Amino acid sequence: MDNDAYKEMIALQEQHWWFVGRQKVIKSFLSMEKLSELGSEVLEVGCGVGGNVNLLSSTTSYLGIDMHLPAVDYCKEKYPQQSFRCSRIEDLPSEVKVRNFDSIYFLDVLEHLDQDVLVLRESSNFLKHGGKVLITVPAFNFLWSPHDEFVHHVRRYTKSSLGKSLEEAGYNIERMTYFNFILFPLAMIQRVGMKLAKKKLNRHISTPPFLINWIFEKVFSFEAVLLKYVDLPVGLSIIAVVTKKQTDKHL
């Protein structure tokens, strides 16, 4: 993501319906899966400009890493009480590598990586026994749009393709479901329309007018409750909670 995109992301993350709704879905999963419990240590891979810091660090010891120095510098300034490093997970220094984290988060990160399986496999080395990884990714390649190109996505996933990557990386899937389901038809129409119009983007998404933004936020946020009871058949995104496979030392 370029510097202009970062500036817009900073303004968007606290008000745009997608960011607010996604946070509520993630918060619901934190509660359901007993993640980020009091005193636990968490690692966020690809922390960006810190949109998830408050959500993930309220009761935990938090470390955020990102490859882009401007994002890390912004996080250090805004959240001086938390820890941040400009690094890939595979390049973390030895003093971090000896730490074992109770939970690791990839929140709309894997779709940016050429080698998602290798990064997922490396992350398992930082996970405590019984620790969990929470992942969100965009869904369905047929929804590919100029927005994906603008934010440098490499791919979108299906449950099947994400499951395959997680299996290859050595994880057991505890739960995986689509989300952002209710607004899926509207988004599909919009994305297809952008394709047919061959529309190009030269700037990030902007927050819709207040009323539309409010309605979309409430609709999306309702799924935080819905997902407590059911998995959703389709959606704009996928959320997964996984654990590291344990090897049998007696074999």
| Closest CA relative to residue 17, chosen from 158, 233, 211, 242 | 211
Count how many domains the chain has: 1
Structure tokens at 53: 């810091």
pTM of the model: 0.92
Of the candidates 84, 87, 45, the residue with the CA atom closest to the CA atom of residue 68: 87
Distance, CA of 128 to CA of 246 (rounded, Å): 11
Domain assignment present for residue 16? The answer is: yes
Q: Is residue 141 domain-resident?
A: yes
CA–CA distance, 227 with 248 (Å, rounded to integer)? 34
3-class secondary structure per residue, the chain: CCHHHHHHHHHHCCCCHHHHHHHHHHHHHHHHCCCCCCCCEEEEECCCCCCCHHHHHCCCEEEEEECCHHHHHHHHHHCCCCEEEECCHHHCCHHHHCCCEEEEEEECCHHHCCCHHHHHHHHHHHEEEEEEEEEEEEECHHHCCHHHHHCCCCCCECHHHHHHHHHHHCEEEEEEEEECCCCHHHHHHHHHHHHHCCCCCCCCCCCCCHHHHHHHHHHHHHHHHHCCCCCECCCCEEEEEEEECCCCCCC
Give the CATH number for residue 175. Answer: 3.40.50.150
Q: Does any domain span residue 196?
A: yes
Report the distance separating Cα 185 and Cα 236, nearest Å: 9
- Tell me how far the alpha carbon of residue 83 is from its chain's centroid: 19
The answer to whether residue 97 sits within a structural domain is yes
207 lies in a domain? yes
**What's the confidence (pLDDT) of residue 17?**
95
In a domain, 250, yes or no: no
Q: What is the pLDDT of residues 101-142, one digit of tens each?
A: 999 999 999 999 999 999 999 999 999 999 999 999 999 999
Q: Decide if 249 is inside a domain.
A: no
> Does residue 227 sit within a domain?
yes
Sole residue written with tokens 């496999």: 121
Residues of the domain holding 114? 3-244
| Structure confidence by residue, pLDDT tens digits, 1-59 | 555 666 677 778 889 999 999 999 999 999 999 887 778 999 999 999 999 999 999 87
Q: Tell me the pairing of strands 171-179 and 237-244.
A: antiparallel
Geometric angle at alpha carbon 213, from 19 and 64, rounded to 5°:
10
What pLDDT digit, counting tens, does each position of 179-212 carry?
999 999 999 998 878 777 776 665 667 889 999 9
